[in-house]
Chains A and B, each alone.
Chain A
């Protein structure tokens, strides 16, 4: 059997698929977040060094992972858009930017609220924090760049190129705690060594991370549908689709 890799790159098919998947992933996100918060607040024990303050980890680590991962996905879709010229790729790349910016802001926000009681400072100019701040600026620049270019195709190409160039920042953030002497603690989870935390803490964190994934999928698919309508609202398929929705 031959698989048609471009099956869902057709706007009407993508629109219908995203419409079905988005609510499912949203429900999954709610379910996982409820379970994760339960594990984080009621099952995971108190930390012997940081007391109850460490519980910020259950939101800080998932949003920080997502902030970096979303940028990688944007770079992937941007590369696809430039090479394959598929319209959906560019729509997906565009749809992920606001959610990525939001998670990056939340990473800095929850980090500040964690840093204040533990380090005594809301903010320090350390490699991890500074590179994460640069990530926020990259997301904002992507939005500004799109808003500044009227022609959609030129905006697409400019944003795709910009996203690909900016991707070098992601490994810098990730490895900053190894490459430089920073105040920020090392990686919480590693594939090469035994977990450094209680298994219930780890479980809570991973479930919250899955919730962030599900939320991102739900939100980006929903935004992609709207962007697609904004771009192609006057086409035959969009009119038929909306006429169907209204009935």
Chain B
């Protein structure tokens, strides 16, 4: 066990700002990426469902075959 108390742990031997700045921003950005991705996935699926309901017959695919 490295730490005697919570404040010891947060202090990180004087490097608190640097250590928590590194781990904190990493966690924040990874969580943000995950959240944005989920939102985008939901939005794309909704759009397609809506289009499908409005036009039940299959539409022509955007790309047909190779160039």
Chain A interface (Cβ < 8 Å from any Cβ of B): 26, 37, 41-42, 45-46, 51-53, 55-56, 59-60, 63, 85, 98-99, 102, 105-106, 109-110, 113-114, 116-117, 152-153, 215, 219, 222-223, 225-226, 229-236, 238-239, 242-243, 245-246
Contact = CB atoms under 8 A, between A and B. Distances in A.
Contacts of B58: 234-236, 239
B12 A53 contact: yes
A215 B15 CA distance: 27
B66 interface: yes
Contacts of B21: 113
Given A99-B33, A109-B25, A234 B62 contact: yes
Closest 10 pairs between A and B when the two form their complex, measured CB to CB: A52-B13, A53-B15, A110-B22, A233-B48, A52-B12, A234-B59, A113-B18, A51-B13, A226-B41, A56-B22
Interface string B26-49: 100110011001101100110111
B19 A232 contact: no
Interface residues of B, number: 39
**Majority secondary structure, A binding face:** helix
A233 B41 CA distance: 12
B4 interface: no
Given A59-B26, A110-B26, A42 B47 contact: no
Contacts of A239: 48, 52, 58
B7 interface: no
A163 B54 CA distance: 39
Nearest to B45: A242
B41 A235 contact: no
Contacts of A105: 29
Contact of A243 (B34, B44, B52): B52
- Most A CB contacts (10 A, CB to CB) among B14, B26, B47, B67 go to B26
